[in-house]
Amino acid sequence: MERSVGIDQLSFYVPQDYLDLADLAAARQVTPDKYEVGLDQRLMALPAPDEDTVTMAAAAALPILEGVEDIDSIGALLVATESAVDHSKATAAFVHRLLGLPPTCMIYDVRQACAAGTAGLRQAAAMVALEPDMKALVIASDVAHYELEAAAEPTQGAGACAILVSAQPRVCELEPSWGVHAEETFDFWRPLERITPVVAGKTSLLKYLECLAGSWQHYCDRGGSPELDACCFHLPFGAMARKAAHRLARESGGCMEDLRYQSGLQYGRVIGNTYTASLYIALCALLEQGEPQPGQRIGMYSYGSGSLGLYFSLRVQAGYRAHILGARHSRMLACRNRLTVAEYEQRHATYGAVPEAASMNASPFRWAGIEQHRRLYESRDTLANAMEASGG
């Protein structure tokens, strides 16, 4: 890619409710250190009954769209998810309407487990490089939902991250070299009839690291520079980044020993796994809490079970601090609602069930139910209008 293309803005959304892993540890009769130290996780976000991949995706993108002067300049919306609400209709189709995007905006979903967000980013960047007047919106949105009492239970989470890609990127420029490592594996997968995935936990850790080594090598072979100032990793849980950083140090013969990655863990630690969104929420944390210097280079490792590893790099733009949404994100994380284990288990039991009409999550959008097999969504505005009309 010859022209400068990259991330113009980044915004994420997490549901308002969460479970404290210290409470889960007590309920499961596990020492809290196993979660807090062993996994390096503290809280996990839980979606309300009337929020899902669609509502979270739209909520993540709204703050970005508020700042876009010409909505018609958005020529593509790509949604990356592995928790889609329909086997055929694209999540992007629902989100397109909720966000009021123009009919000239191409819409489709991207899928390759957690790596889909990065695959979407790469496609979006290629489109923008071909048509520099257009912008592309990539939204990664997922709910990580595992069985109660499974080993993976403390690694649940939910959230979405929206990325605006442009030819005048104000936050980070994408560098040209990309490393790829693909290999068919059964480490984590979700057969069509299942709500929860099947997980081969230890295999998944090994594959994550093998794909890191392979994609890193490919990145270097293709001319990617190993001189990086910081790195973000796909984050199923915080301790995975520590393992990844060690592996990268080994693969690079020690020259990546002091790579900064800790500030990228700050949000994921209190949100949990968000699959496709987790790498980009880590990037938000690194930019907003780690405050890299303009011109510094950030390595990015994306992993999707099944399996695909992607390694690429970003360069931080001058003046980026004026375009990040750190204050908004910190406020959202600070104003949340702690559920009890009983409330969490009750919600888990009804996961995916049609919500009660009276409920309303904290975002501007809600899943309102199903009529004639059609999944219906409302925005806060339409809801308020309907209530006013009925005198409610």
Q: Which residue among the candidates 105, 114, 161, 231 is catalytic per the annotation?
A: 114
HEC states along the chain? CCCCCEEEEEEEECCCEEEEHHHHHHHHCCCHHHHHHHCCCCEEEECCCCCCHHHHHHHHHHHHHCCCCCHHHEEEEEEECCCCCCCCCCHHHHHHHHHCCCCCCEEEEECECECHHHHHHHHHHHHHHHCCCCEEEEEEEEEECCCCCCCCHHHCEEEEEEEEEECCCCCEEEEEEEEEEECCCCCEECCCCCCCCEECHHHHHHHHHHHHHHHHHHHHHCCCCCCCCEEEECCCCHHHHHHHHHHHHHHCCCCCCCCECHHHHCCHHHCECCHHHHHHHHHHHHHHHHCCCCCCEEEEEEEECCCEEEEEEEEECCCHHHHCCHHHHHHHHHCCEECCHHHHHHHHHCCCCCCCCCCCCCCCEEEEEEECCEEEEEEHHHHHHHHHHCCC
Q: How many residues bind ligand HMG (CB under 6 A)?
A: 27
- Least gap, CB of 48 to ligand HMG (angstroms): 22
Q: Which part of the chain contacts ligand HMG (CB under 6 A), choosing from 59-67, 303-311, 337-345, 382-390?
A: 303-311
Among 135, 181, 218, 234, binds ligand HMG (CB under 6 A): 234
Of the ranges 121-129, 247-255, 300-308, 376-384, which one interacts with ligand HMG (CB under 6 A)? Answer: 300-308
- Using CB under 6 A as the binding rule, the residues of this chain from 174 to 193 that contact ligand HMG are 188
Whether 348 is catalytic is no
Query: Which lies closer to ligand HMG via its Cβ, residue 31 or residue 385?
Result: 31
Map residues 20-59 to x or -, x wherever contact with ligand HMG holds by CB under 6 A.
Answer: -----------x-xx--xxx--------------------
Contact between 303 and ligand HMG per CB under 6 A: yes
Q: Please, which residue, 119 or 324, has the CB nearer to ligand HMG?
A: 119
105-110: Cβ within 8 A, 24+ apart: 105/74, 105/75, 105/76, 105/77, 106/75, 106/76, 106/77, 107/76, 107/77, 107/78, 107/79, 108/78, 108/79, 109/78, 109/79, 109/80, 109/81, 109/84, 110/78, 110/79, 110/80
Catalytic site residue 218?
A: no
Nearer to ligand HMG, 267 or 365 (CB): 267
Catalytic residue at 82?
A: yes
Binding letters toward ligand HMG, positions 154-173, x by CB under 6 A: -x------------------
CB of 108 to ligand HMG, least distance (A): 19
Among 44, 65, 113, 245, binds ligand HMG (CB under 6 A): 113
Contacts of 330 (CB under 8 A, 6+ apart): 288
Query: Closer CB to ligand HMG, residue 12 or residue 303?
Result: 303
The reply on whether position 114 binds ligand HMG by CB under 6 A is: yes
Q: Cβ of residue 176: shortest distance to ligand HMG, in angstroms? A: 26
Q: Choosing from 82, 173, 175, 378, which is the catalytic residue?
A: 82
The CB-of-235 to ligand HMG minimum distance in angstroms stands at 8
Cβ proximity to ligand HMG: between 9 and 141 the closer is 141
Residue among 96, 218, 234, 329 flagged as catalytic = 234
Site for ligand HMG in 257-286 (CB under 6 A): 273, 275
Task: Give 278 or 363: the residue with its C-beta nearer to ligand HMG.
Answer: 278
Q: What's the rounded Cα separation, in Å, for the pair 308 and 98?
A: 31
Q: Is 225 in the site for ligand HMG (CB under 6 A)?
A: no
Task: Enumerate binding residues for ligand HMG (CB under 6 A).
Answer: 31, 33-34, 37-39, 82, 113-114, 151-152, 155, 188, 199, 201, 204-205, 208, 234, 236, 239-240, 273, 275, 303-305
Catalytic residues: 82, 114, 234
